[in-house]
């Protein structure tokens, strides 16, 4: 074996290379492939610019109806309800990572135009949020009503999706009417 014998053809060399190949194939089954892919996904999210929204998408996002104070009142406040249909703003704008403690959603919506000016942006949720976020991710580009997402606690689902909506991660199918409160 080695450089000196690299061009030599022998039974011992063939058996050795076959054994090395078997061991390497066995090693692959022990590698944390999903974890490595998730780490690459987080890096991709951190490297990416925020998505550019079309006029229609902007009208159905927080960027059109953001709440703010005016004359002592909150204006442009929106409420999601169980019939609100949502989808991710872009499939590649988010990455869902799960661990024993819950789920983390990494997203590009607040990335700077200056490369890596900020740390990766993310939101953490309890593991109860995982099926909801996973389902809305898998159904992209289709819209899905909040009531049709997995889980029995409607208030939890609405709160979770309101947080995602307020970050611009999800958009609604129809522009939400704003109201003064």
**CA dist., res. 42 & res. 122, Å (int):** 10
Cβ atoms of 159 and 165 closer than 8 Å: no
Per the prediction, the chain carries an average pLDDT of 88
DSSP annotation of 17 reads H
pLDDT at 67 over 70: no
Domains of the chain and CATH, by start: 9-172 (3.90.930.40)
Average pLDDT value for residue range 26-53: 92
Q: Could you tell me which residues are beta bridge partners of residue 127?
A: none
Which band of pLDDT confidence, cut at 50, 70 and 90, is reported for residue 179? Answer: very low
pLDDT at 79 over 50: yes
Whole-number pLDDT of residue 98:
87
Which band of pLDDT confidence, cut at 50, 70 and 90, is reported for residue 2? Answer: low
Cβ atoms of 121 and 132 closer than 8 Å: no
Give the model confidence (pLDDT) of 8-36 as tens digits.
Answer: 788 988 899 999 999 999 988 888 888 89
């Amino acid at each position: 074996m080695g450089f000196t014998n690299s061009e030599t053809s022998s039974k011992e060399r063939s058996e050795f290379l076959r054994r090395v190949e078997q061991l390497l194939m066995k090693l692959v089954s022990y590698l944390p492939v999903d974890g490595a892919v998730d780490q690459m996904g987080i890096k991709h999210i951190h490297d990416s610019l925020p998505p550019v929204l079309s006029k229609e998408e902007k009208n159905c996002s927080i960027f059109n109806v953001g709440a703010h104070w005016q004359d002592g009142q909150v204006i442009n406040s929106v409420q999601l309800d169980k019939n609100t249909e949502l989808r991710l703003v872009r499939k590649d704008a988010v990455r869902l990572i799960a661990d024993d403690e819950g789920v983390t959603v990494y997203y590009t919506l607040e990335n700077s135009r200056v490369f890596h000016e900020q740390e990766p942006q993310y939101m953490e949720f309890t593991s109860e949020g995982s099926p909801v976020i996973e389902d809305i991710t898998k159904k992209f580009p289709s819209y899905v009503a909040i009531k049709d997402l997995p889980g029995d606690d409607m208030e939890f689902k609405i709160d979770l999706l309101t947080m995602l909506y307020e970050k611009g991660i999800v958009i609604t199918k129809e522009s939400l009417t704003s109201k003064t409160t």
